[in-house]
Amino acid sequence: MRVLGIDCGTERTGFGVIESDGRNHQLVSAGVIQTSAKAPLGVRLQEISREIRSVIARDLPVAAAVEEVFYATNVKTALKLAHVRGVAMLAISEAGLELGEYSPLEIKTSVVGYGRAEKRQVQVMVKSLLHLDQPIESEDACDALAVAVCHATHSAIRRKLEGVRA
């Protein structure tokens, strides 16, 4: 199963695509969509949308996942983040991909085994789970890969449970 993970941000949106059977994960691609903080929000959202569509067309995932909005102390920041999530979810939906949404706690628990893990612990585990020689340097791309791993793992468990019920 090929999965696209997205770590939403208005200036830096991370993406990561993996190939996975739910237990073994392999990196397909990862990167960051960088927008200018000086550009109007609408222009930034267009650029993020265009780039996500490009990743979907290039890497052909069958599923995608995004992190749920967390409660931020800055309401303005949370609203902008919600706009980016909306753009990402629209691109995913238009492509007909299965969509998963996970809390930061679920993502960290899936990847590290501990829901309060630090960024560095996530980075080390993503490197290990994807059998990489070097860690992913960009925190945004690494977080996006963690989202993808979380979805691949949850999807495999869900499929197994459906098979047991059948």
Q: Catalytic: 21?
A: no
58, with CB counted inside 10 A (0-12, 13-18, 19+), is exposed
Pairing of strands 63-67, 98-102: parallel
Active-site residue identified among 51, 67, 106, 143? 67
The Cα 125–Cα 131 span in angstroms is 10
Query: Which candidate in 7, 51, 106, 143 is catalytic?
Result: 7
| CA separation for the pair 155, 60 (Å, rounded) | 17
Is 47 among the catalytic positions?
no
7 in catalytic set: yes
Residue among 11, 21, 137, 140 flagged as catalytic: 140
Residue 40 CB neighbour total at 10 angstroms: 9
| Catalytic positions | 7, 67, 140
